Amino acid sequence: MMEGRILKALSGFYYVDTGDQVVTCRARGKFRKLGISPLVGDMVRISQQPSGEGMVDEILPRKNAFIRPSVANIDQLVVLASGAIPKTDPFLIDRICAIAALKGCGVIILLNKCDLDPADDLYEIYKTSGIPVLRVSAETGEGIEELKPLLDGKLSAFTGNSGVGKSSVLNALDSDFAIAVGEVSQALGRGRHTTRHVELFRLGCGGEAMDSPGFSSFETDEMNMELKERLDETFVDFAPYRTECRYVGCSHTKEKGCAVLRALKDGEIHPVRHRSYLRMHEDLKPLQAWQQKK
């Protein structure tokens, strides 16, 4: 009996890192009967069959799980953004941050391509939000050393709009990343941009990371009743105010005596953050309990 983390799931095989080796495993039939599939990021108990084949016997309790990409136990989302082309819409960042908060995941915002553009607007928005924000450049290496300790000991999922530099930053952190990803693509006979699977990569500086472009499809998959009910909790910058509103259940949209709106007026909450909140609040409005999947 060994324990390890699933690094990769491909064609019914699970690649489990036990610390000193990566064991290729199949999953016990009971999981399918129970309707559970082991996910990348899962901590599992495995055993070795007499034939030498590994078997996933048990999935240890998950900290969290995501639908697309289907991964588990993410400690933090590293949200890449850029002030240069492609310029990042703060609404994308805010949606990701809200869902991360809902799932008990940390967030770091990286303003990449700062060699081209310092992304002052984005920096202003997040500086006061309580979400760590760091300027980096995969090109010049700026900020990369400061980033390393923030990743150490954690499982981080790198996300952000296409072309923002996720792979480039991962390469700047550890040049073996490109090689590891390249090998997989070659084995599959297609480029990495078309590969659909997710894979964890162990960074030389400590920590594990995954490149997960799929997280931009968050808005459709993870916009659910729970988010609707807890939306204001997921805006960490509202935390000091949202319990101070005059009315219990205040929606922080137009109520009299709303402490969030007061903080907005006083400049304590950035207007762009509150605008994102209003937009999400509107988007979630039509969602009814009966529409919930599963």
Ligand X SMILES: Nc1nc2c(ncn2[C@@H]2O[C@H](COP(=O)(O)OP(=O)(O)OP(=O)(O)O)[C@@H](O)[C@H]2O)c(=O)[nH]1
Residues in the site for ligand X, rule: CB under 6 A?
112-113, 115-116, 137-139, 162-168, 193, 213
Rg (CA), the chain: 21
- Size of residue set near Zn ion by CB under 5 A: 5
CA atoms within 13 A on the CB side of 278: 12
Cβ-based neighbour number of residue 39 at 10 Å:
20
226 to 245, contacts with Zn ion by CB under 5 A?
245
Establish if 78 lies at the interface with Zn ion (CB under 5 A).
Answer: no
234's contact among Zn ion, ligand X, none, with CB below 5 to 8 A by partner kind, is: none
Stretch that binds Zn ion, among 103-111, 204-212, 257-265, 269-277 (CB under 5 A): 257-265
The least distance separating ligand X from the CB of residue 163, rounded to whole angstroms, comes to 4
The tokens describing 129, both together, are: 């939000």
Beta bridge partners of 56: 27, 46
CB burial string 221-241: b at 16+ within 10 A, e below: ebbbeebbeebbebbbbbeeb
CA distance 187 to 189: 5
State the minimum distance, in angstroms, from the CB of residue 129 to ligand X.
Answer: 22
Which of 97, 258, 264, 272 contacts Zn ion by CB under 5 A? 258
Among 252, 270, 273, 274, the residue binding Zn ion under the rule CB under 5 A is: 252
Q: How would you list the strands of the sheet with 201-202, edge to edge?
A: 133-135, 106-112, 76-82, 155-159, 208-211, 201-202
Whole-angstrom Cα distance, residue 113 to residue 179?
22
Among residues 122 and 264, whose Cβ is nearest to ligand X?
122
CB closer to ligand X out of 36 and 85: 85
CB of 141 to ligand X, least distance (A): 9
CB of 245 vs Zn ion, minimal distance in Å: 3
Query: Closer CB to ligand X, residue 162 or residue 291?
Result: 162
Q: Out of 74, 250, 269, 272, which residue is the one contacting Zn ion (CB under 5 A)?
A: 250
CA 242, 247, 248, 249 dihedral sign is negative
Query: Does a cis peptide bond (omega within 30 degrees of 0) precede residue 132?
Result: no
Residue choice 260, 263, 269, 280 for contact with Zn ion (CB under 5 A): 260
Binding interface with Zn ion (CB under 5 A)? 245, 250, 252, 258, 260
